[in-house]
Amino acid sequence: MALVFAGLVPHSPLLAPNIGREHRQLLAKTLKAFEELSDVLTKAQPEAMIIVSSHVESGLNWWNANVSLNYHADLSSFGDLLTKDNWEGALKLVIDLEDYLGFNLPLRLYSQPALDYGTSIPLLLLGAAAQKLKILPVGYINDQPEHQAVFGHKLGEFLRQWPGRVALLGSGDLAHTLGPDQSGKAQARGHKFDQELQKALEQKDEAAILHIPQELRDKTGQCAWLAYLTVNAAVAEQPGQWRNLVYEAPFGVGSAMWYWQTSS
């Protein structure tokens, strides 16, 4: 039926209650934005969600999808042994997507029920709105951004004709070089990356996103660029505009949230 929701979110482990604890108050704006985004997601009424993230395995000349009957959050690497939320897998969706992409954009399947923080943190913070969804984590192709943009367009094309209602979420953090422990040059580079990427997104300028200088992409520690490229490409043929909910960097890492607001 439709691609009914598209969003871009951060995934700092400090957003998780059992990890960030009292430090979460410094991310209050981001947490509030997650509540607003959860409301938008609920109103969109999707039945499934694709999550693209750099923490899903990347492929050499293909894309990977993590397929499982059920998934669970695994934040044990951060000392959180209590968070055990679960989500159901979108099996019908991945079968149809693999068939639609064919040999030109090969999708390889693997299974890892334990979700890394890049996928699980956004799901946890979207709460009940995400709990009822069937999910599919998808990664990127290695070092081929032009092909990644093509994949995004094809993904959007597929979702607009798929018989169900689907949400698309890009997960990634912006520059990691904004803190006072970084050199002035590194901070300036990080601010420039965050500003250029978000300006290009707001203007729906795929070429500007694609051609952000490699130095900015590689030397800022960011892991959001390909998420922005992919999701923006997926909605390129849909009416609407990007709306920003928050941007902050209290721990020296850029944290932004956007969603695609459909034209009325």
Burial degree of 237 (CB within 10 A; 0-12, 13-18, 19+): exposed
The residue type at 128: A
Q: CA-CA distance, 197 to 252, in Å (whole number)?
A: 17
Two tokens, residue 225: 């660029």
Nearest to 24 by CA among 39, 10, 40: 10
Q: Rounded to an integer, what distance in angstroms lies between the CA atom of residue 7 and that of residue 180?
A: 30
What per-residue confidence (pLDDT) applies to 101?
97
In this prediction the pTM is: 0.96
How much is the CA Rg of the chain, to the nearest whole Å?
17
Give the span between the Cα atoms of 148 and 154, in whole angstroms.
10
In the chain, what are the domains?
Answer: 2-261 (3.40.830.10)
Per-residue pLDDT tens digits of the chain, which is 264 residues long:
589 999 999 999 999 999 999 989 999 999 999 999 999 999 999 999 999 999 898 998 999 999 999 999 999 999 999 998 999 999 999 999 999 999 999 999 999 999 999 999 999 999 999 999 999 999 999 999 999 999 999 999 999 999 999 999 999 999 999 999 999 999 999 999 999 999 999 999 999 999 999 999 999 999 999 999 999 999 999 999 999 999 999 999 999 999 999 864
Q: Copy the structure tokens of residue 134.
A: 């069937």
Residue labelled with tokens 């890049």: 118
